[in-house]
Amino acid sequence: MTQVGVPGRPDGPDTGSGRVVVLGATGFVGGHVGAALDAAGYEVLAVARRPLKTPASWRFRPMDLVHGGPEALTSLIETERPVAIVNAAGEVWSPDAEGMRRNNELLVDRLLAAVAASGARPRLVQLGSVHEYAPQPRGVLLTESSPEEPVSDYGRTKLRGSRAVLRAVRAGEADAVVLRLSNVIGAGTPTASLLGQVAAQLLAGSEDGAPRRCGSRRCAAAVTSSTRGTSPARWSRRCVSPAPRGGC
């Protein structure tokens, strides 16, 4: 997929250790998340359907999370013993409603089944979307208590995935948090997206035609912070209410 911009390497005070599995690590958001975790000192194990280019410091494992069933992921969790799993995989703004159901709902169900079957308890960071909420009138801020009334197939499928994670937390079956991201823009934005089209047009109209460096650091930093630093019990209490908003 064509991309816009040059990815930068996030920096910041967050530091950690251990292995983190990033599902969808070769995608736009997953790539920024992996870079932030790498910079913070984690070992990144990238998981995706297709082996695209990743940094030399990452390990890569090809896996189809939807069609392959949960068994392969269960085996990976048992073998690798990650401290956290970040789910940056999914289907974005597609005319294929069934594809969004598979990749935004079924994938999450299989991820939760794999974690439960593994006997391990890595922290799960599910990347949701602000499109899980109802559209807000102009001038009204979106908050964590805003109505969860999505108006698109994308928002509805993402909401079902988020709710599945939160149900697992309430049942004591997962140590997890949901970060609901706003529309993300930064280096590597796919040109097929609305914001990517705008960026491409701005780039084409620049005087020297040189790529402009722009980072998606807030989202990546929020995910990095969510992989550590708080006891499972405290995360569970925070996740039974509407999911945290991770605006970027």
Active site residues: 154
Burial of 129 (0-12, 13-18, 19+ CB in 10 A): buried
Q: Report DSSP state, residue 131.
A: G
Rounded to the nearest angstrom, the gap between the alpha carbon of residue 212 and the centroid of all alpha carbons in its chain is 24
Which residue reads 């599995």 in tokens? 21
Residue 240 CA to residue 247 CA, distance in Å, equals 19
Closest to 172 in 3D by CA, of 223, 115, 216, 221: 115
How far CA 56 is from CA of 45, 46, 186, in Å, comes to: 11, 11, 22
Residue 41 CA to residue 247 CA, distance in Å, equals 24
Residue 248 CA to residue 102 CA, distance in Å, equals 26
